[in-house]
Amino acid sequence: MTPHIVVQQLLEPGGERTVEPALAPGSYRMRLRDLPGERRLSVGAGGEDRIELSATAFDAEVRVVERPSLRLRNDTDQEQLFVLERTAWSDQIVSAAEVTALQVFRDLFADEALRPGEPISVGTLTVLFTDLRDSTRFYLEIGDAPAFGSVMDHLDVLRETVADEGGAVVKAMGDAIMAVFSRPIAAIRAAQRAQRELAAPPSGGRPFLLKAGIHAGPCIAVTQNERLDYFGSTVNLAARLVDLSSGRDVVVSATITNDPEVADLLGNELTAEPIAATLKGFEDERFEVWSVAT
């Protein structure tokens, strides 16, 4: 279950032990389970064949051969667990925010992620809310049944564009959705693509204007009704932004425009204009809000 750990030795106070592990070339670290600090090892040709690793002394990185003799010494008055692990595994780390923002994860494991009703912080996420403009009039014009069919088709477009940008649809609320992404630029691209496709549907279908609002920040995840959902001020603010959209733009917070990937595209592929607005529930706080043209 922990293939990155190559040596694990429990030493009594004052104890010593020599191990000779077979190490593949690469970077490693020796650490103690209950004490701070670590000793970095680099495995490769030209390294030392014999070194001592003390529980209380952590020096600079040392280069060792592929089968070194490692003398472990516990010079403390308590039992210590020595752990030698390869650090290449850290390149494959993924955060809870990134995992839960994947549609495939939500499809397969959403009801297994958290105990129902128990919240957990998952870090920073980008939250997208969308809503169809003038949908109430649409239902009145053509009737509930045909309008409902068109709305379902628009949800299919949203699910596809969100998934293609590495995001996940959290929930649909009538003709609105909430989706999450690990990167702000992905949320903008998904929203803009959905707006373009819905505004010019194939086969002469009815065009729709899709309002969209995006904000990023820390989120709380919780399983409710067998579904992984998100709560917190980040979600609440994103939900307020969608009401400011005309359906021909994506309304975003300054957190989004300040993101390095988004900032690189502003003035080039993207055009943003400030909006003067007061957000319900956030009257005592000052937020910069921007309209990003589709």
pLDDT digits (tens), the chain, 294 positions = 778 899 999 999 999 999 999 999 988 989 988 787 788 899 988 899 999 999 887 767 889 999 999 999 999 999 999 999 998 666 566 777 778 788 888 777 766 666 666 777 778 899 999 998 877 676 766 666 766 777 777 888 899 999 999 999 999 887 889 999 989 999 999 999 999 998 887 766 678 889 999 999 998 888 877 778 888 999 999 999 999 999 999 999 999 999 888 988 887 888 899 987 777 767 666 778 999 986
Q: Of 216, 280, 210, which is closest to residue 249 (Cα–Cα)?
A: 210
Q: Of 75, 105, 94, which is closest to residue 14 (Cα–Cα)?
A: 75
Cα(56)–Cα(76) distance, rounded to whole angstroms? 7
pLDDT of residue 140: 67
What's CA 45's distance to the chain center, in Å?
A: 39
3 state DSSP class of 120:
strand
pLDDT of residue 116: 65
pLDDT of residue 227: 77
3 state DSSP class of 88:
helix
Residue with tokens 């955060």: 95
Query: Is the distance from CB of 33 to CB of 83 less than 8 angstroms?
Result: yes
> 96-293 sits in which CATH class?
alpha beta
pLDDT of residue 90: 61
Cα(19)–Cα(31) distance, rounded to whole angstroms? 15
Q: Of 193, 147, 203, 213, which is closest to residue 174 (Cα–Cα)?
A: 147
* Length of the chain as a residue count: 294
pLDDT of residue 196: 93
249 sits in which H/E element: strand 249-253
What is the DSSP pairing of strand 210-224 with strand 249-253?
Answer: parallel
Distances (CA, A) of 169 to 83, 160, 163, 220, 235: 41, 10, 8, 16, 14
pLDDT of residue 156: 87
- Phi, psi dihedrals of residue 204, rounded to the nearest 5°: 70, 25
Distances (CA, A) of 49 to 52, 88, 159: 11, 22, 56
Distances (CA, A) of 40 to 22, 27, 80: 17, 7, 18
> Which residues of the chain are in CATH 3.30.70.1230 domains?
96-293
Strands of 26-144 (E only): list them.
26-32, 38-54, 62-73, 80-86, 120-132
At residue 184, what is the residue type? Answer: P
